[in-house]
Structure 1
């Protein structure tokens, strides 16, 4: 089979499409014929060797954790799905023609493979960090870098829970944020004052890693009310860096519930082929995404 792999840590140029042996489902796993794989910042952080303590890597390594596809092999003990079922979930080396998933759910009716691949990691992350920051119904959450995949999920989940959201993003994404129910403002010079004019902030999330941790602590008045998923230096300011994933099974169940009720939709910003994986990482690293990027297999 074909898969994207890297034999050394480095820039996007280390990625290559190689011929590899097909993986097989172990106990409690399923194998899918991959139709699409989500592109996450974690993918290029792993490729760069940034997060080896949390994500040990044996080289050469595949790439990707999110995927959607058709079940074609079921491991021992798996009873809730069968060959031919359409699923989305989390696994390893998902930029490939076949991948093994360790957590999955049946795709909601009407959802395309391309769309489904964009949900697993971002919904799990959004649910986890909303919980970690301790924001409740009636309070205000500031989201820095709100237009990407995680931001899109955070805004919609917060809206569902009665949490008011102020989101920062580029000028081109202001209407997008408002369409998701947020009060929107641009980042850049003067952004702190623009946020203050929108009202007091109870908690804040840093999703972009643009060096705003100090300002987020200032706006909330408490480093314990700030969580970052993108700034590795956040702990220097007493802020939690949320780098370890939580319960993916629960996250997928919640994603299915919200998608099925029409309460969650994350658009696809751009699609790539396996041979365009390096460009997908370049674009993901650059940010300014509206929604998700996916690799089509």
Structure 2
């Protein structure tokens, strides 16, 4: 049985008015979680700036990582922070927070990831972390490869940002003709998002037939049980994001910007945002076409939780 699976992206608008288009691979009809990672957006340079007016979150952490450009983060806890390539912004929503995200120019390239907070921690206080990473040279079989670890620990490098379950996230840059084995935690689920170039991955000592060649914006899933993942490039360089984590065996209810465990919790969060209650606070200093993004209408049916790992992935 193969331990590799491919998730193809879908294009979605980000941020309402003058929305920037992004490629989304999580959540996916075939997969909800990789560890506690529950949301993967990949954005490439376009003629539009990122301009996401204040909007709410609960029950999750947002992780912003850029390859090119910079984004200003403002939140209702009073945090204001530019994030640039090599740096990570991690915002913890807990019971509730709101924030805005604005790029300073066009040409933005990067990812935004969400982490589902476990049930025991998701109603806690909000928070914010910013961390500037260092470059780590990887030991390769051929070629050259570097890593920047922005969540967790990998190949001797680590990040101090706080998470609520064991996780890893790192940017990998591989030169042409590179083959490298990256040691990973065997109990973790992993996934690889290709930003640019051409890249083939294989779990552990897999055969050539088991290897998976990724196209840009595709997400390659690696099941638990292997001690390393092999990354291989051909004639061109590649850049990718590796994420992973201990399986989170909880059913999640994900709707709009909220993660909850029941329909009633989603309804309450939406109502409190619409009523401008104190739960999500106010973002000061944002200047844009609207003051805040209104919540969409709820569907006319009862919302149902997502299972962590639907069985239809091939």
TM-score normalised per structure 2: 0.27
Please state which structure has a larger fraction of its residues in helix. Answer: 1
Please state which structure has a larger fraction of its residues in strand. Answer: 2
